[in-house]
Chains A and B, each alone.
Chain A
Amino acid sequence: MNASYTKYELMRLIRNKRAFIFSLIFPLALYLLIAGSNKDAIILPDTLRIKFPTYYMVSMAGYGAMIAAISAGARIAVERSTGWNRQLRLTPLPVATYFRTKVTTSYAMALVSIGLLFAAGLLYGVRITPFSRWLEMTGLLLVGILPFVAMGVLVGHLLTSDSMGPAIGGGSAFFGFLGGMWAPLPEHGALHIIGEGIPSFWLANASHVGVGAPGWGLKGWAVIGIWSLAMAVLAGWAYRRDTKRV
């Protein structure tokens, strides 16, 4: 890890106010609006009696982290469009360090997004006990976004800066829907089977740890692991082929 390089990349992330705000504000605003107007609603009143703001907070934390992770990596497209990546290749910066730095900045974005959602939840009176459940949920969320961090780096190397907006929007909607983040998937059937093979399903699952779900079994770890590996390999391939003048 090159400390100076990482420091400046993080500074750039924060200074790019438009991108910084927009990739964080959507899940947060949605939460503040919807949870705010349903503060006292109860989900599954007969059994679990989970308050709506709690359920919605953990869900949005996962969804927001996913969007933040994808869009942070996707910003590479902007750097490529200016020819900066070609310049970077003429330095001794090792590829692994370059990727580690990109992953670090993506995780920084995701952490900020999760933190904002948690803060908003606390503001609305969300209490999750025991405290270890907060930690377990956050830990699984951070593992669960790994495929999306790699996916962001991949699309950043594949697409142009013009097509970035639709790609992020479409991609997060696709994974949000199929993973059951928008609305719960049916318990059985094709949609459920597809959903289980998709990392956002397990990301949603990680969220639900905050409201009492048991977390991932072997299947969950396998899906996240395979997707992370596949995305990382593809991102590496996209990086290597991308030496042309853009």
Chain B
Amino acid sequence: MALLDGERIGQAGAVQSLSLPTAVGLPRVARPAGISLVGLTKSFRSPSGPVRAVRGVDIEIAPGETVALLGPNGAGKSTTIDMLLGLSKPDSGQVSIFGMTPTEAIANGAIGAMLQTGAVLDNLTVRELIDMMGSLYPQPLGVEETLDLAGIADIGDRRTNKLSGGQTQRVRFAVAMVSNPDLLVLDEPTVAMDVESRHKFWESMRIFTGRGKTVLFATHYLEEADANADRIILMARGEVVADGAATEIKAATGGRQIRGTLPGADRDALRSLPGVRRAELRGDSITLYCSDSDAAIRALLQAFPTIRDLEITGAALEEAFLQLTATNDVPNDGSNQGAQP
């Protein structure tokens, strides 16, 4: 299910020319309909012409999956989520949530959502707010259960306008959960949380996902996606650029790096070694990004026997992320403007 073209992924700009990843091909036998986004596009008008925020996104999520929508700011995550939730109408494409339209799914209380922006309603206590929101749903969780689950039982009697940023986020999480939804959608849930809140938040989430719920969360924190999702969907510039388990995404980007110290190294000579996709020089230290690190290291030692401080590491997800979402080193040949073939 590696969806990336491994041969071309390392070349600058290759991402743009990748064929669009199709819906994930995991066998989803005899399970009820999950979440399906097909061919979603959305443009916005701006003073400098139309901005194509989402350019043909296809995502399939099976019931019970926890999926991270990962990408830098402006990748189209929030726009995609808005369309998933029916808050914004796609220019083209279809959304299906457990076989329903977003509006139907919301009317059935099947969705709990924590949006990126937003405070909570003021002049209520936390407990009152959760009670009020629960009253809007057909089968809500109990108020106390929700407060416990979100880890905010201790601030239940506090007014919502007297909360810290992290507390507000957890209250908003409780608002999303009180509906006892089948699908929980979280847009950048841990923004404004400190390390401790963040830790507690994901703890609560794991309890919740343990109940067989489907979860889609957007984030631009790699570690968060890596640690908390079954699957990562990587978005950049309004497209899905990779879709798979974290390990697959790492593998798809060509895997390993070789570092070493080699005074007076020649970048072109290094790059022409077998198994090397890309070479970087920083003073005397070199970094080789390899598609085949075994071949590369043999050739490297043969060609440059004086090299020292050798180190071979698996590419960090960070590196994969940067490669897949990079825009700066993309040649401006217009290929990133057009639609996918």
Interface set of A (CB-CB < 8 Å, partner B): 2, 4-5, 8, 11-12, 15-16, 78-79, 82-84, 86-87, 89-93, 243-246
- Interface centre among B120, B124, B136, by most chain A C-beta atoms within 10 angstroms, is B136
- Interface centre among B107, B115, B172, by most chain A C-beta atoms within 10 angstroms, is B115
- Whether B106 pairs with A91 at a CB distance below 8 angstroms is yes
Q: Kindly identify which residue among A2, A4, A79, A90 contacts B121, using a CB–CB cutoff of 8 Å.
A: A79
- Whether A8 pairs with B87 at a CB distance below 8 angstroms is no
Q: In chain B between 100 and 129, which residues have their CB closer than 8 angstroms to a CB of chain A?
A: 106-109, 111-113, 115, 117-124, 128-129
- Whether B128 pairs with A8 at a CB distance below 8 angstroms is yes
Residues of A within 8 A of B313 (CB): none
Residues of A within 8 A of B129 (CB): 8
- Whether B136 pairs with A245 at a CB distance below 8 angstroms is no
Residues 79-112 of B, flagged 1 when their CB comes within 8 A of A and 0 if not, give 0001001011000000000000000001111011
Q: Kindly identify which residue among A5, A16, A82, A91 contacts B118, using a CB–CB cutoff of 8 Å.
A: A82
The docked-state distance in angstroms from the alpha carbon of A83 to that of B116 is: 9
- Whether A86 pairs with B120 at a CB distance below 8 angstroms is no
The docked-state distance in angstroms from the alpha carbon of A196 to that of B124 is: 42
- Whether B128 pairs with A91 at a CB distance below 8 angstroms is no
Q: Kindly identify which residue among A78, A83, A89 contacts B117, using a CB–CB cutoff of 8 Å.
A: A83
Residues 127-144 of B, flagged 1 when their CB comes within 8 A of A and 0 if not, give 011011101111000000
- Whether B136 pairs with A87 at a CB distance below 8 angstroms is no
- Whether A90 pairs with B106 at a CB distance below 8 angstroms is yes
A86 to chain B, nearest CB (A): 6
Please give 6 more A-B residue pairs, beta carbons under 8 A apart, in addition to A16-B122, A84-B119: A8-B129, A79-B121, A91-B136, A93-B136, A243-B88, A245-B82
- Whether B123 pairs with A90 at a CB distance below 8 angstroms is no
- Interface centre among B82, B118, B124, by most chain A C-beta atoms within 10 angstroms, is B118
- Whether B123 pairs with A87 at a CB distance below 8 angstroms is no
Decide if B253 is an interface residue (CB 8 Å cutoff).
no
Decide if B41 is an interface residue (CB 8 Å cutoff).
no
- Whether A11 pairs with B87 at a CB distance below 8 angstroms is no
- Whether A243 pairs with B123 at a CB distance below 8 angstroms is no
Q: Kindly identify which residue among A15, A86, A91 contacts B87, using a CB–CB cutoff of 8 Å.
A: A86
The docked-state distance in angstroms from the alpha carbon of A82 to that of B163 is: 15
Residues of A within 8 A of B111 (CB): 90
- Whether A4 pairs with B132 at a CB distance below 8 angstroms is yes
The docked-state distance in angstroms from the alpha carbon of A154 to that of B179 is: 29
Interface set of B (CB-CB < 8 Å, partner A): 78, 82, 85, 87-88, 106-109, 111-113, 115, 117-124, 128-129, 131-133, 135-138, 172, 175, 179
- Whether A91 pairs with B115 at a CB distance below 8 angstroms is no
- Interface centre among B78, B121, B128, by most chain A C-beta atoms within 10 angstroms, is B121
Q: Kindly identify which residue among B118, B123, B137 contacts A86, using a CB–CB cutoff of 8 Å.
A: B118
B103 to chain A, nearest CB (A): 10
A85 to chain B, nearest CB (A): 9
Q: Kindly identify which residue among A4, A5, A8, A87 contacts B115, using a CB–CB cutoff of 8 Å.
A: A87
Closest-by-CB residue of B relative to A84 is B121
With contacts A11-B123, A92-B108 taken as known, whether A245 is within 8 angstroms of B117 at the C-beta atoms is yes
B216 to chain A, nearest CB (A): 14
Residues of A within 8 A of B108 (CB): 92
The docked-state distance in angstroms from the alpha carbon of A11 to that of B88 is: 32
Q: Kindly identify which residue among B88, B112, B136 contacts A5, using a CB–CB cutoff of 8 Å.
A: B136
Residues of B within 8 A of A11 (CB): 123-124, 128
- Whether A84 pairs with B123 at a CB distance below 8 angstroms is no
Residues of B within 8 A of A82 (CB): 118-122
- Whether B122 pairs with A92 at a CB distance below 8 angstroms is no
The docked-state distance in angstroms from the alpha carbon of A83 to that of B114 is: 11
Closest-by-CB residue of A relative to B175 is A87
The docked-state distance in angstroms from the alpha carbon of A15 to that of B159 is: 11
Residues of B within 8 A of A92 (CB): 106-109, 136-138
The docked-state distance in angstroms from the alpha carbon of A82 to that of B171 is: 14
Residues of A within 8 A of B124 (CB): 8, 11-12, 15
The docked-state distance in angstroms from the alpha carbon of A94 to that of B28 is: 35
- Whether A12 pairs with B138 at a CB distance below 8 angstroms is no
Residues of A within 8 A of B135 (CB): 2, 4-5
- Interface centre among B106, B113, B135, B179, by most chain A C-beta atoms within 10 angstroms, is B135
B131 to chain A, nearest CB (A): 7
Residue pairs across A and B with Cβ atoms less than 8 A apart, 8 shown, are: A11-B124, A15-B124, A82-B121, A84-B121, A86-B117, A87-B113, A90-B115, A91-B133
Residues of B within 8 A of A8 (CB): 124, 128-129, 131-132
Residues of B within 8 A of A83 (CB): 115, 117-119
The docked-state distance in angstroms from the alpha carbon of A201 to that of B146 is: 51
Residues of B within 8 A of A79 (CB): 121
- Whether B118 pairs with A84 at a CB distance below 8 angstroms is yes
Closest-by-CB residue of A relative to B118 is A83
Residues of A within 8 A of B112 (CB): 90
Closest-by-CB residue of B relative to A97 is B136
B7 to chain A, nearest CB (A): 40
Residues of A within 8 A of B113 (CB): 87, 90
The docked-state distance in angstroms from the alpha carbon of A93 to that of B109 is: 9
A106 to chain B, nearest CB (A): 16
The docked-state distance in angstroms from the alpha carbon of A69 to that of B111 is: 34
Closest-by-CB residue of A relative to B113 is A90
